[in-house]
């Protein structure tokens, strides 16, 4: 795999963009942990927000209050969602199944 040749300015801009995405993702996950966002909010945000849309569903579930790694993995398995699925990639049936499984979280 060949790496692209970037100028110093392009590299700095890419690093700034990546750091901003990490900060926004951390803030988004913290909002989930505090209960400020629900699963329905996340799915709606994921349609327009690039950071939310590219977040793995497993990470989203793990960020919900009262759900850890094991419980999140079991929910994903019961609902039939691949562990690598991202928020934006959820299908309509998967969305409904998740909302039904988790209630109003």
Is position 88 within any domain? yes
Which CATH number characterizes residue 66's domain?
1.10.8.50
Is position 2 within any domain? no
Q: What is the pLDDT along the chain (105 residues), one digit of tens a residue?
A: 677 788 989 999 999 999 999 999 999 999 999 999 999 999 999 999 999 999 999 999 999 999 999 999 999 999 999 999 999 999 999 999 998 988 867
User: Which residues form the domain of 31?
Assistant: 8-102
Rounded to whole angstroms, how far apart are CA atoms 15 and 21?
10
Is position 91 within any domain? yes
Number of domains in the chain: 1
Is position 61 within any domain? yes
Is position 52 within any domain? yes
Is position 83 within any domain? yes
Distances (CA, A) of 66 to 28, 33, 61, 70: 17, 9, 10, 11
Rounded to whole angstroms, how far apart are CA atoms 28 and 10?
27
Rounded to whole angstroms, how far apart are CA atoms 101 and 105?
10
């Amino acid at each position: 795999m060949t790496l692209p040749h970037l100028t110093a300015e392009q590299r700095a801009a890419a690093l700034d963009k990546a750091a901003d995405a990490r900060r926004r993702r951390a803030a988004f996950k913290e909002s989930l942990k505090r209960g400020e966002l629900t699963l329905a909010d996340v799915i709606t945000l994921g349609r327009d927000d690039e950071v939310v849309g590219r977040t793995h569903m497993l990470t989203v579930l793990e960020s919900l209050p009262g759900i850890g790694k094991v419980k999140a993995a079991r929910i994903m398995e019961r609902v039939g969602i691949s562990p690598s699925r991202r928020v934006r990639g959820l299908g309509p049936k998967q969305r409904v199944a998740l909302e039904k499984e988790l209630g109003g979280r």
